[in-house]
Each structure stands twice: as C-alpha cells, then as structure tokens.
Structure 1
Amino acid sequence: MHRRLKFVLGGGGIVLAVSYLVSTATLDSATYYLTVSEAAESAHGGATVRVKGKVQGGSIARHAEEPRLAFVLSDSRQQLRVRYDGLLPDLFSDGREVIVEGRLDGGELRAQAILASCPSKYDSPDGAAPARDR
C-alpha cells in the first residue's frame, strides 16, 4: 500500500510538471499582436509590442543613403506613424498587411522588426482571365 501511494504521488507530480511546462511554453510562444487602434489608444509606452495593420498607400518615405524608413500603419479606425532602421522584407509595399514589432514612443512606433504577410490567395495580373476561362 505504501509503495502504491508513492507511485501515485510521483506520477501525479510528473503530470503536473509536464502540464506546467507545456502551458508556459505555449503562452510564451503565442504570437499575440495589437491592432493599430488598440496600440494608439493604449499606454504601452516603452514596452515592446507587436502591431498588425496595413501600410497606408503613399505613406512610405525612404531615406536616400541609409536603410531608414518611415510609413503610416492603419486599420479601419486609427493610424500610427512607424519609423524603422533596417532591411525590409521583400513583400513590403503600399497596402500590404504587416506586423511591426517595436516600442511605442510618444504616439510613434520605433520598429525593430517588420513581418510582411503573404497574400492568402493568388490574384491574377490586371485584366488576365482566369485559367479555367481560357
């Protein structure tokens, strides 16, 4: 009986430890982000945040001699100015949905990384008929 109790308690401890490790790993690796509206309305000043939005058309301003960039990130309600010093992803362009990681500083996002999402479906070039109609 005493041996069986040790076995049950030991097994329970192992299950609890594994459950704890799985839950903390899952929470730490979750890719949470704020919308532009949430970031603009919140007080995350100085904290590193991830913000998802669309690059507003015509807002991209590149520095001529350095990899410095400024643009406006927007959603349906708010806009947020972004500054970034670094190399851009190939898919970065006007109207593209991006996730920007950085620090909020006085209503501006000082970006440390920019992730551009791939289109969710293939869009044919303007005026091209779908393959099934050819």
Structure 2
Amino acid sequence: MNRYIVGTILIVAGLVYMGVTVFRSSMQYYVTVSEFRSNESKYDGKTLKVAGKVKEGSVQKTVDAGMPVYTFTVVDAGQELQVVYRGLVPDTFKAGSDVVATGHMQGDHFEANHILAKCASKYEAKVQS
C-alpha cells in the first residue's frame, strides 16, 4: 500500500514539474527593438520575441525554393533591426504595422520563424472638422 502512495506522489510531482516547465516556456514576453539593442549580449543564442514597427520602404520579398522570403526592418525608438522571415506573412503585415517577430539572431540579422502583425483598431474615433 505504501508503495502505491509513494508511486502516486512521484507521478503527481512529475506532472506538476512538467506543467510548470511548459507554462514558463509559453510565457515568453517580448522585448522592443531598443531594449534588444541596448543589451544584445543578454540574448545571445536565445530564442526571443522582438516587437517594433515595420519601417516604411524596407519590405522586400524574394522566393527561395518556392518559399517566399521577406526581408524587412523593424524600428523602435530610433533603433533598427533587420529581420528575415521565410514563409507566408499575415494579411495585416505591411509597412508601418506593429509586428512581433519570434526567432534568434543569425549574424547581422534576426532570423524569424514566426511573425505576428497587429492591426490598427478599426474602432478609433475620427476627428471631427
């Protein structure tokens, strides 16, 4: 009987540990481009989320092995970061939109494996003239 209790406790403890580990990894916050640039060495070799605005005129699209490749610059507080993303971008992705890119630094650019483009609120009040 005691063996079953000890076994059950070990299984429950293992499940709790796995749950906490998964929860912590899913709670990855993003940093802005300026925060990233101010302390790049802190993020060496780490996957992170970087947020900023797509710089006007910076979006370039090419095709590599049938896959679209987007190269663009993300800006925040005067700091810039070149991003390369392979794949389809969201419909809301365009110059001037807010984006969160998930990935890592690869040489002189940020290699993104996921892009989230935020859309402007459609419910903002218009200024009356």
| TM-score normalised by length of structure 2 | 0.71
Give the root-mean-square deviation of aligned CA atoms.
3.3
1:63 paired with 2:48, answer: no
Task: Please say which structure displays the higher CA radius of gyration.
Answer: 1
1:67 is paired with a residue whose SS is strand
1:27 paired with 2:24, answer: yes
2: distance between equivalents of 1:25 and 1:85? Answer: 26
**1:18 Cα offset (Å):** 9.3
Q: Which residue of 2 aligns with 1:120?
A: 121
**1:24 Cα offset (Å):** 4.7
Letter in structure 1 aligned against 2:57: G
CA contact (8 A) 1:45 1:106 kept: no
Q: Percent identity?
A: 37
Q: Which residue of 2 aligns with 1:37?
A: 34
| TM-score normalised by length of structure 1 | 0.68
Q: Which digits, 9 at most, give the CA deviation of each residue in 1:21-53, with x for residues without a partner? A: 775554332140111012223122332111011
Higher strand share: 2
1: distance between equivalents of 2:85 and 2:18? Answer: 35
Letter in structure 2 aligned against 1:42: E
Taking structure 1 as reference, are residues 24 and 72 closer, same or farther at Cα in structure 2, changes over 3 Å only?
same
Taking structure 1 as reference, are residues 84 and 18 closer, same or farther at Cα in structure 2, changes over 3 Å only?
closer
2: distance between equivalents of 1:81 and 1:97? Answer: 15
Unmatched tracts of structure 1, length 5 or more? 1-15, 130-134
CA contact (8 A) 1:73 1:82 kept: yes
2: distance between equivalents of 1:35 and 1:88? Answer: 20
Letter in structure 1 aligned against 2:56: G
Letter in structure 2 aligned against 1:85: R
2: distance between equivalents of 1:50 and 1:100? Answer: 5
Unmatched tracts of structure 2, length 5 or more? 1-12
